[in-house]
Each structure stands twice: as structure tokens, then as C-alpha cells.
Amino acid sequence: MNKETQKKLAKIFVLVDLLVQEIDYKDRVPTKETKAIHDKAKELQQMLEPILERFYDNNSVSSSTFFLILQNKFNYIFDKEYN
């Protein structure tokens, strides 16, 4: 897998993970549409995980730290723009 493909998959994973988190419906009853989107995003997330794990196993990069930093930056930008 080349570096461009790895970067694209990492971006997709971060966005899908954020989607799963944002649609999380702990405090409300989900609509049929919201549940379907959440389930599909979760499925995509699970499909991406093994691919990304292979990449990070080979490159000794801490994937959890990397993805957490990306998610925090993404959320910071949104919070900044909407305040």
C-alpha cells in the first residue's frame, strides 16, 4: 500500500469514526434514517480497522494517538467556527 492510499484511508477512518460518535444516540431515540446511517458507518469503520492496523504494525506509529489528535483538531476547528 503506498503512502497516498494510507493517508486517504486514515482520513476516511477519522471521518467515519467521528460520524459514528456524532450519531451516537444515547440520550434520544434514533430515527430509522439515523440508525441506518450509524449502522453503515459502524460497518465501514470495522472494515477499515484491520487495514489500518496492518499499516501501523509495519510503521511503529501509535494509531490511537494519531487518530485522537486528528479528531481533536477536527473538533477544535468546528467549535471555533461555530462559537
Q: Is residue 14 helix, strand or coil?
A: helix
User: Is the predicted pLDDT of residue 61 greater than 80, yes or no?
Assistant: no
Residue 19 near residue 47 (C-beta atoms within 8 A): no
Please give the full DSSP string across 29-77, using - where no structure is assigned. PPPHHHHHHHHHHHHHHHHHHHHHHHHHHHHT--HHHHHHHHHHHHHHH
pLDDT at site 56: 65
6 or 41: which leads in pLDDT: 41
pTM here?
0.67
Residue with cell 482520513: 11
